Structure 1
Amino acid sequence: MADDHIFSKVRMLYGNHAVKELSRYIKHVKKLVAHEENLSFLKKCKDYNVIPKFIENSVKNLIPKNEKSTLRNTFENIKKQTVKKLLNTYIKVEFSSISRSKKKLVGFQNQFNNKYNPSVECISQIKSHSDFIASKFKIVKNNALNKKFADVAGDIEYKNSEYVKAVSQKWFKNLTTIVIPPHVQYILSLGPKYNLPLPKLPLFDSLKEVEYILEDIDVEEGKKNIARSKITEILSKKHKDINSNKPLVHVDPLVTKRNLKDTKSFLKQHPEIILTRSDKGQVTVMMYRTEYDQKMLELLGDNAYKIKNKDPTNSFMSKNNALVKKMRELNQINDLEKRKLTTYTSVAPKIYGLPKIHKPELKLRPIVSSINSPTYELSKFLVPVLKPLKNPNYNVKNVFDFKHLFDNINVKDGYKFISLDVISLFTKIPTSLAIDLIMQKWDCVKDHTSLEKDLFEDVLKFCLGTSYFSYNDVFYTQDSLAMGNPLSPIVADIVLDNLFDQILPEINSYCQLAIKYVDDTFLVVDETKIQYILDKFNSYHPNLQFTLEEEQNLSLPFLDITVIRNSDGSIVTCHYNKPTHSGRLLNFYSNQPYSYKLNCAKNLIKRTLSLSHIKFHPQLVFEIKKTLEENRYPTKLIEKLLSDYIQNSNNQNVPAANNPDHVQSVYYSFPYLGETSFKIQKVFQEVVPIKFGHRSTNSNKSNFFSNMKDKTKKEIKSGIVYKIDCENCSSSYIGESGQYLKKRMYQHN
């Protein structure tokens, strides 16, 4: 036996006294393991909000047996606080015991080595033996404590493991061969928008926003100082609460500090992977970085994109500013508009791809982030000018408008539902076609812009003709609309409206209804003319080709509803979840305002039921409950919201209250700090009517998800705080600049 061998060897080399010392050492090794496993057990109990039996037993006589109900609640609260404090204290005790045991073991090792001067081989064998004993004892101890945990936690752990398995399958897609631990997969499956509990107060960010608001509001300085003092006190208290590990409400027991640490560790061990979200359906996708790069390069190898030798940002920025200057000189915009449209700190748009996991072959949907690009503000300036060109007779604003179309329609005999979808709409619309169509409608455009025709056309051509972006520091141009350009949606609508103008008169005798939403078109047509109608749509322009879907079993899904025709030709609708739908919503445990979660649940209920005929409601209510429960919404809350919706639906004719004295609030962005944010908002509201748009401060995205876009180089960053160290002494200069950093640094020289 290996055990006997090491003891026999020590006895032979160093005598019986050395064997006794080795036995004591092994005994302390087992004690250390016991303390470590006890600590793990106690922390697990704390994570799952359960109390070990030995602590429960120690306070079972705290409440007098014959105590009347008037004081019983007080005793119960004292008991709850006591057991939690005891649990925290026992955790501290185990930490101390582990520290002492480790010191004793080091002492034993030093004493044994000094006394007997064992060989390196002997030391190695003693270590191997102690490690073997430790691992063996750890299994025994762990099994015993797991049984204890099962006794106090009941089926909590089983339910959680089943829950993790269920939601992870729907909310997480692993496109690699890497095995991911279930608890890590669960945290990542919650998505990029899931907000984690605050590990520390974002004090600098909070104070920065406070000072920005105080500087922006028109209030006398004395009132500002009072507000500043109150807010400082509130933030100080929050800082103490976080540092004292004050327990939080509505925290997911599966999102523990240990699990978050494991998640960071897993991602650090696998730099070859990226984490992103799917193109549709709210699913977290894990894939190899090399595969992502390969798919992006395949996408950019299309003839629609051309490589540019250098970054055209400065050139486009100069042209943008020249056009804006000309607009002002001709008195066609005012000074405020000129300042907004002029840019000196633009950066190149950046392209990234979102995986289309619902397709048989993995492809990426290209998205271009155009924020702060040379034409971004000028493009936004044109959007309200072009919106009136959109034909309301061809378009629905949303799925609710679409549903109401069928209130008084009966499908003709021999007619069917079909839908047509444009293949890659934005990247297939030539900019020359779009510009020509818009300028043909100048008589309408001129009523909505102060620009003269020639200048308007120059601005339009510039905004649509400068579609470019970077990927891996290589610059590309495209002669089509970019996803991310503020103008693209309205321009696409104008082009498709023109298609309707051309095609509908030719198919009018075979078409009972034709309506569209962006690139999706719904038609009720003669079933014998379906191919003819598809060919007509595809004949409009060689770049714009349509796919066809026909009704099945008298029904066809479109947007978020299934349109169903009855035998008498009447139409009913039912809420529809696309195959890409995962059911992931704003999680109830996400560290975000309660009102956001309430609105999320209410909107799901209202959208699902109001879009559906009442005969479908029983099944839909079941699906609503399941979806909200998967997103951790309490059952009682779900039942109440469903009851409220039904009650409000029955009283829908009651007029809303009118408040003529209502003052419009001004919104400011502010980091979400729980109830502390609302306390700070209340302080501001004492002097001015404002509301906060709560900003994420510790999201899954910032902690775990990959940045898919090219990084902006440091020298062309703007709106930053910078520090310059003195070359001759220990002093430094800290400044803030709205210019490019390289330009500001040059000014210091």
Structure 2
Amino acid sequence: MGSTLSYPRTKWAVYYRIQEKMGSTLPYPRRKWAVKGTDIRNKKTLKATTRFRINQELKLLHIKKQKLNQQLYHAHLTCANAWKDTWWMILGSIDKNLKKMVEEKYDKLNNKLESLRKEQHAQKQRQTARTTSPQRNPSTQGFHTRTMNLSTVEFNTEETSLLDLGLQYCIQKPPNAWLQDMNHLHKRQLYTARKLRNKLAENNLIIVPADKGRTTVIIEQNILQNNFNAFLSDNNFTALRQDPTTTYVKQIQKALKDCPDIIDKHKIKHLIPIHPVPPTLTARLKIHKPNIPIRPVVNNINAPTYKVARFMAKSLKDYLNLTNTYNTVNSHSLAQGISKLTINEHRKLVTYDIKDLYVNIPIDKTLHITDFFLRINNNKATIRSQILGLMQTTLAQNYFKFNEEFYQPQKDIAMGSPLSGLVAELFLQYFELHTVKHSLETKSVIFYTRYVDDILIIYDESLTNASTLTNTLNKIHSNLTFTPSHEDEGRISFLDLWIIRNDSSLEIDIFRKPTTTNTTIHHLSNHPTEHKMAAY
């Protein structure tokens, strides 16, 4: 290609030439060019520009090389005239030293490259050993069946295979380009889906997701209804005579107008739903527990307090500034913290699970705790009053609809509300500040961490015992029950990790719950690629 570049008459080419004349273009080929529009001439201009710049850069480097050679030649002549016959000895010494420097430089680079290769090879060997080595406990490392049939109805292989794809699977709508190739597959899946729907309807069955592990559960509707009834009766829900949604919307409107210091008056209209609906109760099945109880799931979207609760959950973090001293973010951070601990025969591990946390948090106590944290962070009295008033109105509107009936709990915070997680965190951090801190200072507890309602404690058996710890935790509040799990054969499970005792340290391994399945979003599902790859 010549030294000049012929540009086509396009907008992008004109723009580039103007930038070039102004000196805005970079004189090396690493510049990233942006093509404006989809015109093929623009793309050709981009390609020609890149080649032109590379050629110009090569010419520039060649000119530099020629200048350096000329300078070296003149320096050589000058030195030869000055040193006469001894110059050749000096030149040989210079060449020898330069050769030695180059060899040392290359040896250093080669050693660095070799160490990186060895490290990469060792890492691959560790990964291979991890995947091929026998599991510590094969019974806990396997996967649960993807579909669990609790009914007496039989499903054929094709129907079971479709259910095994998981409840997240979506049948694709194929593009026209490969419509003919894929259409038969989608028709077959749609045919199987219709057969499944008819079979479920004929036998009074329903598909429900399991609480953990992504298991698809098939259960009779009357059995599921009995589980719902047991949940409603065991937790003392009050049946309401009528739908309170309209009344609650008016209460929210009034509460928002009384908070000018924390909410801009122009934002109030965005916090009130246009067409509010009552929250609805659904469930997930706890297949890992006897009698398969339900875990309630309340859908609060479009409920009267949903937008307000979401706003408060976000803004309260700025007013409260929680330290999260004893919280663990995920399994990775937990593993890093545990790896630094020293263990001896007196230090024991125990985990606790808080039974039905959200159902048992009292609203009145929560408001007092919120006021406590607001005072610690030096918030003004008017701001504290407005926050507590809006919180009380939001938390009090705890109700849901089930089977055309309306229910309200007697004591707990709203299930499914965006504010529930923060309220539960406030409640627990308050008692950790007064109880756990003392135990850590007295050295009876060596390590304490919590993830939502799961707690891991390492205590010194010479100063305390598990029974004393359990009694101390259960005295925090009468509504809360802490259920302990002790280490077995030198190991204990927490989150998705095995924590294994060694002589003086703790080792980490992968833990899978008995209900864990290997279900992920199928590669043929109508999902974005990012969603499919997230599991890996």
**Closer, same or farther in 2 for the Cα pair 1:391/1:304, shift >3 Å?**
farther
1:458 aligns with 2:389: yes
Partner of 1:535: 471
Letter in 2 for 1:560: D
Q: Which residue of 1 aligns with 2:448?
A: 514
Shift, 1:375, TM fit: 0.7
Determine the structure 1 residue equivalent to 2:172. Answer: 197
Write the distance in 1 (CA, Å) between the matches of 2:143 and 2:344.
46
Partner of 2:489: 553
Matched, 1:409 2:341: yes
Deviations along 1:570-624, whole A, 9 cap, x unmatched? 12211211112112112223232334323432xxxxxxxxxxxxxxxxxxxxxxx
CA separation in 2, counterparts of 1:548 and 1:173? 29
1-structure distance, mates of 2:153, 2:350: 42
Residue 238 of structure 2 is matched in structure 1 by 306
Give 3-state SS (helix, strand or coil) of 2:166's partner.
Answer: coil
Q: Distance in 2 between matches of 1:320 and 1:281?
A: 38
Output the TM-score relative to the length of structure 2: 0.68
Match for residue 296 of structure 2?
366
Change in Cα spacing, 1:257 to 1:424, as seen in structure 2 (3 Å) is closer
The structure richer in helix per residue is 1
Q: Given the superposition, is the C-alpha separation of residues 332 and 547 from structure 1 closer, same or farther in structure 2, using an over 3 Å criterion?
A: closer
Matching of residue 269 in structure 1 with residue 199 in structure 2: no
Superposed, 1:125-524 pairs within 5 Å as 170-198=145-173, 238=175, 240-241=176-177, 245-248=179-182, 256-270=189-203, 272-327=204-259, 330=260, 332-387=262-317, 388-444=320-376, 447=379, 452-478=383-409, 479-508=411-440, 509-524=443-458
Structure 1 unpaired stretches of 5+:
1-166, 200-237, 602-749
- The 1:579/1:255 distance shift into structure 2, 3 A limit, reads farther
Q: How many residues align?
A: 388
Q: 1:595 to 1:519 in 2, by over 3 A?
A: closer
Aligned partner of residue 470 in structure 1, secondary structure: strand
Deviations for 1:56-110, whole angstroms, at most 9, x for unmatched residues?
Answer: xxxxxxxxxxxxxxxxxxxxxxxxxxxxxxxxxxxxxxxxxxxxxxxxxxxxxxx
Letter in 1 for 2:267: E
How far the C-alpha of 1:262 sits from its partner, in A, is 2.9
Using the alignment, how far apart are the partners of 1:577 and 1:169 within structure 2?
Answer: 10
Counterpart-to-counterpart distance in 2, 1:584 and 1:254 = 23
Q: CA deviation at 1:352?
A: 1.4
2:31 maps to what in 1? Answer: none
- CA-CA distance at 1:335 after TM superposition: 4.4
Q: Which amino acid aligns with 2:323?
A: N
After superposition, residues 546-625 of structure 1 pair within 5 angstroms as: 546-567=482-503, 569-601=504-536
Change (3 A) 1:426 1:440: same
Residues 386 and 445 (structure 1), Cα distance of their counterparts in 2 relative to 1, 3 Å cut: farther
Q: Is the 8 A contact 1:538 1:544 kept in 2?
A: yes
Q: TM-score under structure 1 normalisation?
A: 0.49
- Secondary structure at the counterpart of residue 409 of structure 1: coil
Distance 2:164 2:371 in 1: 48
- Residues 1:513 and 1:543: Cα distance change in structure 2 (over 3 Å): same
| CA gap 1:351/1:575 in 2 versus in 1, 3 angstroms | same
Shift in CA distance, 168/494, structure 1 to aligned 2, threshold 3 Å: closer
Q: Which whole-Å CA distance do the structure 1 matches of 2:363 and 2:386 have between them?
A: 17
1:411–1:524 contact (8 Å) kept in structure 2: no
Calculate the aligned-residue CA RMSD, in Å.
Answer: 2.6
Partner Cα distance (2:263, 2:201) in 1: 52
Q: For residues 379 and 550 of structure 1, what CA distance do their matches in structure 2 show?
A: 38
Identity %: 24
Output the amino acid matched with 1:466: Q
For structure 2, the residue ranges without an aligned partner over 5 or more in a row are: 1-141
Q: Would you say the 8 A contact 1:324–1:342 is kept in 2?
A: no
Per-residue deviation, 1:363? 0.5
Which structure would you say has the larger RCO, counting Cα contacts within 8 Å and 6 or more residues apart?
2
Cα distance change on mapping 1:306 and 1:261 into 2, 3 Å: closer
Deviation at 1:421, TM superposition (A): 0.7
Q: Which residue of structure 1 aligns with residue 7 of structure 2?
A: none
Contact persistence 1:434–1:491 (CA under 8 A)? yes
